[in-house]
Structure 1
Amino acid sequence: MLSTLLQLASLAALVHGHGNIATPPMRMPGDATTSACGKSVVADIVRDKTSHVEGLPELAAKDTGYKAAQCNLWLCRGVQFADNKANVQTYKPGQTVEIKINLTIPHVGNANVSIIDTKTNAIIGKPLLNWPSGYADEKQFYGKTLPTNQTDFKVDIPTTLGNQCATAGDCVIQWWWYGTGAKQSYESCIDFTVAEV
């Protein structure tokens, strides 16, 4: 009986999601993402906005609508800026931003929150927050809640960006988490602008 329950729990972990940004609004797919990444990828993200990235390349490869040059699945899970123009946040240098994470199934690993240049998919400067280990440790989770600083935290917008993120779509704030035991990556992006004052 116990082994059956453990098998079902493990299956549920594979089927259901794991984590995403709850606030501010994260990128979600629409027509532009469907055009770039294909219907299969979009259906998977819509079905479970908390799921990991690793399953998406296989879905994309089987979809005739997938355009690898336009759909970078390792940047915001391929979700396109064009679908998210209405959710662009406007920040000032030095402004504190509160971020809440919906973390449904923990997997111990490492995580960070960073500003990403969307043209290069590279971190600008250093991570705003970094958990080099012990993030979302499932051994600490069961019967309890995760430490607040892993699901409800604040970041400060760097004062050194200049005009690098002044144009909507050029930068995102990305929450990225890698479950080392599960070998799964989770990422969510917030579109924003910040202009030099």
Structure 2
Amino acid sequence: MQLSVSALLGLVAAANAHGIVTSPATRTPGDATAAVCGRIMTKFYQADNTSYPEALFRANPNGIGKDYNPNKCNLYLCRGYQFADNAKNVQSYKPGDVVEMDVFIRIPHKGYANVSVVDTTTNSIIGTPLIDWPDNYAATLTPPANQTKFSVTIPTTLGDKCTTAGTCVLQWYWLGQGQTYESCVDFTTPKSTAMKFKA
């Protein structure tokens, strides 16, 4: 039996969405993540790196283990993935650099999305989103090209906020119907070279 396009779209709408940034390199879970987020969480994402935290909790209604430490593992900041597992993937950008990004949408699902510079010490956006889609992100069976291949520009207003590795990430964030997706690209910018004069 062949399904019509509308029927296929209906099936997609009923399914869970899935997506991840494939370029530049993003955080992945390893031993440091397992130490604070637990083995259940780590194995869950290693089995499907396009999934999301709400599905993790739904798949484990009795909890995700005693080795999950919510004070050290924020599942809504880079999915909880720890910098220590990803120190070799830190990108070096200068203010004004244009960063090309590729996103893999395995299952489209209408929602809101953006890419922002996020301070990982406070889980807060620095400035405003570098690019955003207020609605209709991944709303069709084949998302528009500018939703899966696009570029962002490193702000010139970061100062010295992102000079230490692990402090700043480019975070792709997609929220649709209660499903949260995040991919984080660790990066640093050079320290300010402005000369300081004594009075």
TM-score of the aligned structures, taking structure 2 as reference length: 0.86
What is aligned with 2:161? 164
1:110-168 deviation per Cα after TM superposition (whole angstroms, max 9, x unaligned): 10000000011110000000100111013xx2xxx321110000000000001100000
Cα distance in 2 for partners of 1:75, 1:110 equals: 17
Q: Tell me which protein shows more helix as a share of its residues.
A: 1
What is aligned with 1:43? 43
Amino acid at match of 1:157: I
Question: Does structure 1 residue 148 correspond to structure 2 residue 150?
Answer: no
What is aligned with 1:84? 86
Q: How much does 1:2 deviate?
A: 8.5
SS in structure 2 of the partner of residue 44 of structure 1: helix
- Overall identity of the aligned pairs, in %: 51
Question: Which of the two has higher C-alpha Rg?
Answer: 2
Cα distance in 2 for partners of 1:132, 1:62 equals: 32
Q: How much does 1:176 deviate?
A: 0.3
4+ residue segments displaced more than 6 Å: none
Confirm or deny: 8 A CA contact 1:111 1:176 kept in the other structure.
yes
Alignment of 1:178-197 (within 5 A): 178-180=175-177, 183-195=178-190, 196-197=192-193
Question: Does structure 1 residue 173 correspond to structure 2 residue 170?
Answer: yes
Structure 2 residue ranges without an equivalent (≥5): 194-199
Confirm or deny: 8 A CA contact 1:113 1:130 kept in the other structure.
yes
Choose from 106, 126, 129 the match for 1:127.
Answer: 129
Cα distance in 2 for partners of 1:188, 1:90 equals: 17
Choose from 91, 96, 105 the match for 2:107.
Answer: 105
Choose from 63, 71, 74 the match for 1:72.
Answer: 74
Q: How much does 1:57 deviate?
A: 4.6
Q: How much does 1:55 deviate?
A: 2.7
SS in structure 2 of the partner of residue 103 of structure 1: strand
Matched residue count: 185
Cα distance in 2 for partners of 1:161, 1:111 equals: 22
What is aligned with 2:197? none
CA RMSD, 1 decimal:
2.3
Structure 1 residue ranges without an equivalent (≥5): none
What is aligned with 1:21? 21
Confirm or deny: 8 A CA contact 2:173 2:181 kept in the other structure.
yes
Amino acid at match of 1:132: P
Q: How much does 1:62 deviate?
A: 3.2
